[in-house]
Structures are given as structure tokens and as C-alpha cells.
Chains A and B, each alone.
Chain A
């Protein structure tokens, strides 16, 4: 049994030996992974999405604080765009990605409302910082809601968190490399962001007000009067 275990973990043993031999350098992670489409009844509205350049290329760089530590660069931009494209298209019946922010001079065509996501903050924690054998990522988002003419309808904030399960290889944390662990924590945090958005966006004040406005328009008797033939007959 032990022989089999050694055979199965030969690669990990080699990696571990490499880890002992390696010094403290710089760690770079380009977050990569797949996300599922949310399972929810879609809102029958067309959403415009505008990703600012800062969002599309979002990254953090954390310089080593002491001699024994390493620099960390975590790039989430591409993964953010991939995730939010799936989330928005899962929540709204139609989504259009806008190439520029709409304004009164250049309003967006064919959209009911526009969301502009921002990553306001990203924090990470690794075992050498916290003494807890998990890798963690925490993010704070801000969503801007604007109308087709670029007028603000409000904004709201939302947090997301992801961590890796403790993974033991020969009693030492980290069955995978540090970069793989941070990538996994980031993917978990992005999944959590999507889950948080899908299950709470209707309660966010700007969205709730916008949805109230839509249902008020649908319930408006004046609007119904002009769209129903019997009302026209009554007026004659």
C-alpha cells in the first residue's frame, strides 16, 4: 500500500523536494478556470454591459513585506469578464456588450438598462500570512446601474470570498503549488461573486427601483387603455 502511495505521489515528492530547494522569488497567477451558467428564470429585459479597461485587465501586485516572503501578482481581468458574461446572460434574456460608455450624446441602442461592474478591492491570504492552512481571496465589487443615455440610476456594493480546502501532502499543507492554490481560491471567489449576484441582485436598491418602475409601467391603466381595442371603443 505504501509502495503504491509512493508511486502515485512520485511527482508530488519531486515537486516537494524542488520546493525545499527553491528560494523565495516572485509568484504570478493569471486566474484560469471555467464557470457554470446560472440556473435561474431570466428577466425579460435587454441588458447592456460595459467593462472598463481597468476591469478587463484587473490585477493586483503585492510586494514582499520581508526577506522571507515573495511578491505576488494576481491577474483576474480575463476571468472576471468570462464570469460576468455568463452571469449576466444567465440572468437577462439578452445581453449586449458595449464598446464604450453611453452618454446623452451617444446613447446605447436597444438596451433597457446598463450595468458597469468594478472591482474595488481584492485581498488575498496565504498560510505564511495567517498560519491557517488555507489560501483565501476576498473581493469587493461595485456595480453601476445607468440608463441608455448614460444617466446614473444608482450603484451598489457586493463582496465575494473563496478559499481552498486544506490539502495535506505528507503532513504539509498544499497538495498543489502556491500558484495553483491561489488560482483555485480566486475561482471559488468568482463563483461566490456570481452566486451572490444571482441570489441578491433583485434586492439591490437601484435594481429593485428599476424593476418597480417596470412593473408600474405594466400596471399603468392609461398604458393599457391605448393598447386594448375595447378601450378605444369605449372612448368613441
Chain B
């Protein structure tokens, strides 16, 4: 079989993507009717669990998704926020409950920086994407990779919204998605990727957008 015959086959495999099933649950109270206006919000990942940590790229994906759909919303980038307010939002020191924000009132420098950011909502994302099983075999040598492999991924994330000024929890969004990725390989691996994390990001981003934006 020459490359001209193989090319359409390779391309047709590549345009396919693996199936993903997703579910989003939402529970909100005190939703702002006209959105957050000029104020800002920050999305932070929870990283104090022993066997997982919310991925920074997922947190960034949700923020980008929200700002892309409503450019009037300002989401403070997570790394900028963590560095500006170091060490108060590190895994060891981050507040676990809205009432824990009360202890920040004793730190004058911290309070001043928080005020300068004009923060209205603090959103905590807790969860991760896990590989839940794999099958098949793939062997690689100097001549290329051959075989077939498949694996399933599961994304489970919960976003908890805190009203920063009222120091109260005002909403919760939960998303679960799962999918199967396939990777046949003839010389080169050709993955048919199930974008589990991307679907979870879009799902949670859309729900947060409804909360934060006056347009949705």
C-alpha cells in the first residue's frame, strides 16, 4: 500500500474524534442580575488533596472560555493571583470555607492588595481528569510504532462560587464527563482523541458564564 492510498485513510481517521458523554449540575443562590459589571473574579484550583490536584491548565481553560464568550468579564489569571497574594492562597494556607476569609482582615498588606483587585467572586474548582482504564498494545521500534491501544478518561470537577464581599457561598456547579480514546498505529500513532477535559471545561465554563454575565 503506498502513501497516496494511505493518506485519505489517515485523514479520515483523524477527523473523527472519540465520543464523550457529559453531565452538568448547577445550584446557585443570589445570582447577580446584571452580571459582575466592572468588578473582577478569580478562578482557583484546589490542590490540598493527597492523591490529586486540580490541573492549572483546566483552571485556565475555564477562565479563557468565560472571557471569550463575554469579553466584558475580567477573570484574574490564577498564577498572577497566587503570586500577588503569596503565601495566602497556597495549598497549605488557602481558605477552605468562606468564613476563613475573616482571618485575612488581620493582614493589612493582604487586605490592601485584595481591595486593589476589586474582587467580586472567588471560584474554587476541585477535581481532576483521570485515566480509568486502558487496553490493547502498542510497540515502538526504530521502524515505527505498530498496534492498537485504547483508554478511557473520566473528568469530574466541582466549581464552588464565593461572594467575596459577603464572604458567603453562593453557588455550585458540578460536571462529569467520560470518553474513550483510540489509537491505531501503523508506523505512526493515529489517535482518535476523546476531548474529555475540554468538554468538562466548556460545560463548567457555560454554567459559570450564566452566573457571572448579564448577557447569558
Contacts and interface: CB of A to CB of B under 8 A. Distances in A.
B110 interface: yes
Contacts of B15: 1-3
Interface in B1-35: 11, 13-18
Contacts of A167: 55
A13 B193 CA distance: 13
B49 to A, nearest CB: 10
B216 interface: no
A180 B181 CA distance: 26
A39 B53 contact: no
A196 interface: yes
A17 B191 CA distance: 13
Interface in A1-35: 1-3, 5-6, 13, 17, 20-21
A192 B91 contact: yes
A21 B88 contact: no
A17 B108 CA distance: 52
Contacts of B107: 39-41
A195 B86 contact: yes
A198 B87 contact: yes
A5 B195 contact: yes
Contacts of A17: 140, 145, 189
Nearest to B145: A17
Contacts of A194: 86-87
Interface in B130-144: 130-131, 134, 140-142
Interface residues of B, number: 53
Contact of B140 (A20, A163, A170): A20
Given A2-B15, A165-B128, A170-B183, A191 B56 contact: no
A86 to B, nearest CB: 9
A199 interface: yes
Main secondary structure of the interface of A (DSSP, over half): mixed
Interface in B59-117: 82-88, 90-93, 107-110, 113
A219 B90 CA distance: 36
Given A165-B54, A165-B128, A199 B87 contact: yes
Given A21-B142, A199-B93, A39 B191 contact: no
Contacts of A20: 140, 145
Contacts of B192: 2
How many chain A residues sit at the interface, stated as a range, is 35 or more
Given A5-B195, A171-B134, A191 B17 contact: no
A134 interface: yes
A119 to B, nearest CB: 18
A38 interface: yes
A37 interface: yes
Nearest to B55: A165
Contacts of A39: 84-88, 107, 109-110, 113
Nearest to B53: A165
B151 interface: yes
Contacts of B84: 36, 39
Given A2-B193, A5-B191, A134 B51 contact: yes
Interface of A: 1-3, 5-6, 13, 17, 20-21, 36-41, 132-134, 163-168, 170-173, 191-192, 194-196, 198-199
10 contacts: A2-B191, A3-B11, A21-B141, A39-B109, A40-B109, A134-B51, A166-B53, A168-B129, A170-B151, A173-B131
Interface of B: 11, 13-18, 45, 47, 51-56, 82-88, 90-93, 107-110, 113, 128-131, 134, 140-142, 145, 149, 151-153, 181, 183, 189-193, 195, 197
Given A40-B109, A172-B131, 14 more contacts: A1-B15, A6-B191, A17-B140, A17-B189, A37-B86, A40-B107, A134-B52, A166-B52, A170-B151, A170-B183, A171-B181, A194-B87, A195-B90, A198-B87
